[in-house]
Chains A and B, each alone.
Chain A
Amino acid sequence: MTSSSVPSRKVLSKIASNRLQKEVMEWQTNPPAGFKYKVNDSLQRWIIEVTGAPGTLYTGETYQLQVDFPEHYPMEAPQVIFIPPAPLHPHIYSNGHICLDILYDSWSPAMTVSSVCISILSMLSSSPAKERPADNDRYVRNCRNGRSPKETRWWFHDDKV
């Protein structure tokens, strides 16, 4: 595998930038609870702050998500990772990669940043224990050359978490 963690920074296609503008507008007028999007100068990379939902293992903790959009968004999924330190979670690797099907094979263009965020928060909220995935060290070692999680052939552990 020869790719970097930074997704190919091609200019967004017309459909992608149009959609992202709409998503920004939607987010600003109706942001998902528990998330804060810091508007910066780039449409192509969003930094989103997640606050653990009350009554869960992550209550009051905040983490940062980095969302990078590919040229052909929304035909392709965005790359979503936690900026380390990533939350301790059985599906989240210490390098921030998230094992969540909708980010990869189950992506659908009808999804939005907002809906992805909600999925991630619900994944966190339903976590039974604060721990790393069993294969964390091996996976992180494999990713050392800066591999994107989208290059990974994910084997989704279970649907419950």
Chain B
Amino acid sequence: MKVKILQWHAVGSWTWDAQDETCGICRMAFDGCCPDCKFPGDDCPLIWGVCNHAYHLHCILKWVNSQNSTPHCPMCRREWQFKA
């Protein structure tokens, strides 16, 4: 007997593969989305700082924009710079 595979429809899940489970700002799961977003994934991406801390892009932008002085990373208080 031979088995010929006609179609293999697999199931997988994606993950941001961040060290933490949740965003330090909104406390929502990284693999979820920030409270202002409707859909996770492409619509609500993660962003890393040079300090290697990750946040929802929308969350960290809110924080950075709310700071008058040089913004720092909410976790480690180092100066916040987006990691390329």
Contact = CB atoms under 8 A, between A and B. Distances in A.
A15 B35 contact: yes
B62 interface: yes
Nearest to A111: B74
Nearest to A15: B35
Interface string A98-125: 0000000010111100000000000000
B36 A14 contact: yes
A23 to B, nearest CB: 7
Contacts of A75: 62-63, 66
A14 B62 contact: no
B67 to A, nearest CB: 9
Contact of B25 (A14, A106, A109): A109
> Secondary structure at chain B's binding surface: helix, strand, loop or mixed?
loop
Given A108-B74, A110-B75, A15 B63 contact: no
Interface residues of B, number: 16
Contacts of B26: 15, 18-19
A23 B27 contact: yes
Contact of B27 (A22, A72, A108): A22
Given A18-B28, A108-B72, 5 more contacts: A15-B26, A15-B62, A72-B66, A108-B75, A109-B74
